[in-house]
Every structure is written in C-alpha cells, then in structure tokens.
Amino acid sequence: MKYIIVTGGVMSGLGKGITTASVGRNLKNNGYKITAIKIDPYINIDAGTMSPYQHGEVYVLKDGGEVDLDLGNYERFLDTELTREHNLTTGKIYQSVISKERRGDYLGKTVQIIPHITNEIKDRIRRIAAKSGADVCMIEVGGTVGDIESMPFLEAVRQMHREEEDNVTFIHVTLVPLDAQGDQKTKPTQHSVKELRQLGLYPDVIVARCKEPLLEGTRSKISLFCDVPTEAVVSAHDANDIYEVPLTLEKQGLTTYLMNKLGFSPKARDTAWSDMIKRMNNTKGEVKLVIVGKYTHLEDSYLSISESLKHAAIECGCNFTTTWVNSETFDNDPSLVNTLSGYDGILVPGGFGERGVEGKILAIQYAREHDIPYLGLCLGMQLSVIEFARNVVGLEGANSTEFDENTAYPVIDILPEQENVVDMGATMRLGDYEAILSIGSLAERIYGTTTIVERHRHRYEVNPNFIDRIESEGMIFSGKNHNRMEIAEIPENSFFFASQFHPEFRSRPGNPSPPFRSFMEAMLQRNKHR
C-alpha cells in the first residue's frame, strides 16, 4: 500500500481537500485504485452535531456516517463511496483508546500520546487502507501545521514514514500571497515548511496556492529554500472551477512525478474527466434558479446541492445562475415572495429548527400555485406536505411536531419507534435506504426504475395517518419505504418533486443525480417558454 499524505500551512481553507481529491483523480485516470481518509483534529466524534455555520455542510455517507464536506469532494472526484471509517477525528481516537484502557487492554501500562494514541492512529489508517483494496490511500490532515490539535496525527504519520519510508509521500499545501506591489511572496511558504521540518516531516511536493500562476523565479526560490526539486513545486493558482484543478496539476507533471516516486508504471489513460471538462466549458443558454434556505450566507452549507446543480447543467449542456435567499426575508415581509416570479426554478433544501420555516412554506406555495419547477429536499419535502395540507386539504394550522408539539394536525411527526431516544444521532434515519416507486409516476420517469437507493439525514417523517386525506386532494406519495414516505409530487404541476432523502449526496460529475437532472430540464423548458 502506498500513502500520499497532504498537510497544510499558513492558514486553513487553502484547498487541501481539493488538492487531495485532484491528485487522487489524476492517479485514478492513470489506472490506479484510490481511496481517501480525512483526518479532522476536532474532539467531536463526528460532524453530526455541528452547525453548518461552524463547518459547512454535514456530508452523509452510505453507511450513515456524518462527516466533513471534504469527503464529499473525495466521493465526487474519485467517483467512489466511502464509509464513516474514512473520517478520523480526535474524538474517535481518544474514545477508542480510553475504552481499551478501561477494559485493561494495555495490561497496566501508563497510557500516553506516544505510543498509544499514535499507534491507534496508524492502526486505523492501515486497516482502512488495506480493507479498501486500493493501490494508493490519500490522507488529508486537517488544520494547519503547528496547531496543537494536529500534533498526535502529524507524529503518527512521521512514524509511518520511518516504518515504511518507500511507501509514504508527503505533499504540503501552502500560500504564496501577493504584496502591495503584486509580487509573489515565498516567506510564508518558507516558514511553513520550516515548521513542518521541525516536526520531522519533509515535504516531497509543495503545492503553492496563489492567485496567478507561479512565476519561474518564485518556483525556483521555493525549491531552493524548501529543499525540494523544482519540478516538485506545483502552482495551484485560482481556477474557473474546482473540476479544472486536476488538469492544472496534470499539465505541470505532478502525476508523472508522483508515479515515478511511488514506483508506478504508466497505464492506459482514462480521458472521461477531461471530456467532462470540455462539455462543462461548452455549454449554451442559461437558467435562473433561487434557493430559499436558512444558511444561505455560507454557501458551503449547501455545497453538495451546488455541485449537483453543476453536474446536471453539464449533462443538459446549459449554464445556470443561483440566487440565494434567506427564508426569513419572507417571514419578515411575505409580499417579497412575489419576486420569485422571475426565476425558472425554486429549490428548498433541508435544515433543522423552526427559524425561517414559514418563509420556506411561502416559497413552496408560490411555486405550487404559479407552476414554477420545484425541487424540495428533506425539510423541503416536509414543508411541501405542510403547505399542501394547510392550503389545499384545508387542515388549518397543520404543522410538524418539530415546530409545534401541540398542533391539531401533525402531518409531520416522529414515528413511534423513534420516540424516547436521548442520543442525538439515534433518532435520525441516516445513510442508504431503499424506496419503491409508483409505476407511471414522475419519480419512476425520473429514475427509469421502480427501486432506488438514496441517502437520508432526518428525524421526522410524514405522518401515515394523514396520507389518504392528502392524496385525495392531488399530492401523491410516489416513493415509499414501508410506512415511510420518500417522495411527494403533484402530477397536475409541470414539475413538483420533493424527496425525504438527499439525492445530492450521490450526484457525480458525468453522472448527475436524476432529480437534479430532471429539475434542470424542467427549468430549461420553462425558460424556453418565457
């Protein structure tokens, strides 16, 4: 097994995740099987209880693991499916070591960071990598070099390099800023590498994040001061789109350099990724959509949705523009909902909590009454049911017990088997679940089959006691998992589709999520008529 370990310096948010995913993608294009691990130094067990404001979206894996959004990038770039094991956190490591100590597994020894914590980290990395059957395991160490939280992980990978030097390669991502005169400055990179070397880690490759391509003089200076070959100093300048980053790295010879270092021989090259980029850059026409959410000031909160829309647009050969609207805007002034008339589609994403809910309901009502293509995801489906129950079925005050425990019409509720559970995660339906689709429904036409598997992250469900009354008025539940409603649609509308699951988590470049693709097609149709 070969390991490529990606660290970062100077500041967070430089793009270690995209670098990791891009390097992995290029190796995959050359015929090698790749897996990826994200190390998050925070003490949380996972990202499940973290606010989107803190860490961007919570990405859900097929086994229900709630993880950092970088694993979403790994899955999209590598076109693979990972599990919760692929996300290591300080919380997970310490929880495991403490459990072993309580069981007496350490035979009375004093339990310490070295060797017990570092051994646990190494054991997990090797076990996950071996289980994947991959040729290369990409490992991203979150945070920046010098963070106290990262120290045990950096020490563990230092030991791995010592134990199997030929199998471990280090990539260090750092910043090359511009000064007031527009000159590229290498000092932050020099200091970052110096700090890395003080920890016993020596970068084999330096990926320099910069606004414009690295000048040759800058590249040579970094090579000299940081003791890496010139060809191993790679410019990761700003790209028009993150999917172009693999090609940027490839053109500079990074893949060839890494393959030589890893002892890999060239294989027949897969051009699917570069073909997809050509289609992406050769689109025509444009649709306008609006996303009405509650975390809209931080777009990373909806990263997978943004990427899924992009995948759909590439497939449909069009461009799109997104307007982000905080649903509380409509709470405060309901008349502003009329501004939605200027869009080709309305999307209401998931979320938790009461804030902004009524504004989302107003947006859904507007989409339904004005026959604007509508896509509702998770909470967006639940609120579609509430809106329909209130304004069509006539159940005045219908609501979810999440927002009103005493509502007379709890059309959204926690099902009995989920009650009286204290653990925040235990009441959630997480990960892959099957749904059976109704023959002849919009859902069946979208998916082209009657059985699908999609990922979930929610606690409340459509209350089965109200299904007959709702369906008698024209909203149908065309996807079901036993007594759980998975899809709601309104056949009399041109496109009104809402899912309890999150189809965005399985969307891939070159293979878009079916609901997103059909939503994009419906928006194109409306745009043409307008």
pTM reported for the whole predicted model: 0.94
Q: Are residues 95 and 202 in the same domain?
A: yes
Q: Which helix (H) or strand (E) holds 331?
A: helix 328-332
Sign of the alpha-carbon dihedral angle for 334, 336, 339, 345: negative
Clarify whether residues 113 and 37 are in a common domain: yes
Whole-angstrom distance, CA of residue 438 vs CA of residue 486: 11
pLDDT band at 56 (very low <50, low <70, confident <90, very high): confident
Query: What per-residue confidence (pLDDT) applies to 352?
Result: 87
Summarised one tens digit per residue, pLDDT across range 74-123 is 999 999 999 999 999 999 999 999 999 999 999 989 999 999 999 999 99
Residues 46 and 161 in one domain: yes
pLDDT(426) > 70: no
3-state secondary structure of 90: helix
Q: Is 502 a catalytic residue?
A: yes
Q: What is the pLDDT of residue 420?
A: 46
> Taking 60 as the threshold, does the pLDDT of residue 529 lie above it?
yes
Residues 22 and 164 in one domain: yes
- 89 Cβ contact partners less than 8 Å away, ≥ 6 residues apart: 39, 40, 41, 42, 43, 44, 45, 46
Angle at 116 between CA 47 and CA 151, to 5 degrees: 55
Q: Helix (H, G, I), strand (E, B), or coil: what is residue 224?
A: helix
DSSP state string for 415-480: -GGGTT--STTTTSEEEEEEEEEPTTSHHHHHHTSSEEEEEEEES-EE-GGGHHHHHTTT-EEEEE
pLDDT at res. 422: 44
Based on C-alpha coordinates, what's the Rg of the chain? 25
pLDDT score of 423: 46
Contacts of 237 (CB under 8 A, 6+ apart): 209, 210, 211, 212, 213, 214, 248
Average pLDDT of the segment spanning 333-357: 94
Does the pLDDT at position 267 exceed 70? yes
Angle between helices 272-280 and 16-29 (to 10 degrees): 120
Question: Residue-wise over 134-170: b if at least 16 C-beta within 10 A, else e?
Answer: bbbbbbbbbbbbbeeebbbbbbbbbbbbeeeeebbbb
Question: Domain with 113 in it: what CATH number?
Answer: 3.40.50.300
Nearest residue to 503 via CA among 307, 313, 327: 307
Q: Is residue 421 very low, low, confident or very high in pLDDT (cuts 50, 70, 90)? A: very low
pLDDT at 12: 85
pLDDT at 397: 94
Sheet with 484-489, side-by-side order of all strands: 319-326, 286-293, 345-348, 374-377, 496-499, 484-489, 476-481, 429-437, 451-458
Which residue range(s) make up the domain with 261?
A: 3-14+18-276
Specify whether 210 is catalytic: no
Q: Cα(395)–Cα(26) distance, rounded to whole angstroms? A: 55
Q: Has residue 31 got a pLDDT over 90?
A: yes
**What is the token pair recorded at 87?**
């996300």
Give the integer Cα–Cα distance in Å for 520 and 322: 12
Are 39 and 82 within one domain? yes
Please tell me whether residues 414 and 456 are part of one structural domain. Answer: yes
- 334 CB-near residues (< 8 Å, 6+ apart): 362
212 three-state secondary structure: coil
Beta carbons of 360 and 329 less than 8 angstroms apart:
no
pLDDT confidence bin for 55, thresholds 50/70/90: confident
Q: Select from 229, 257, 276 the last residue of a domain.
A: 276
pLDDT-derived band at 353, boundaries 50, 70, 90: confident
CATH number, position 387: 3.40.50.880
**243 and 315, same domain (yes or no):** no
Q: 492 and 522: one domain?
A: yes
CA separation for the pair 488, 473 (Å, rounded): 13
The percentage of the chain sitting over the pLDDT mark of 90, rounded to a whole number, equals: 89
Q: 66, 140, 250, 504: which is the annotated catalytic residue?
A: 504
- Structural domains in the chain (count): 2
DSSP letter at 175 equals E
pLDDT of residue 285: 87
Among positive and negative, which fits the CA dihedral 383, 425, 16, 258? negative
- Residue 477 forms beta bridges with which residues? 488
Higher per-residue pLDDT: 424 or 470: 470
Work out the average pLDDT over 355-362. Answer: 95
Judged by DSSP in three states, 410 sits in: strand
**Of 378, 387, 456, 461, catalytic:** 378
Q: Which is higher by pLDDT, 496 or 354?
A: 496
Asked whether the predicted pLDDT for residue 425 surpasses 60, the reply is: no
258 in the same domain as 158? yes
**Whether residue 141 is found in the same domain as residue 172:** yes
As a whole number of angstroms, the distance between CA 284 and CA 500 comes to: 32
Specify the pLDDT at position 428.
Answer: 86
For the chain, give the percent of residues with pLDDT over 70. 98
Does one domain contain both 155 and 57? yes
Region 504-515: what's the mean pLDDT?
97
Q: Enter the tokens of residue 456.
A: 């979930």
**Does the structure show a pLDDT above 70 at 523?**
yes
Domain final residue pick, 260, 276, 292: 276
Give the end of a domain, one of 237, 259, 276. Answer: 276
Q: Are residues 183 and 324 in the same domain?
A: no
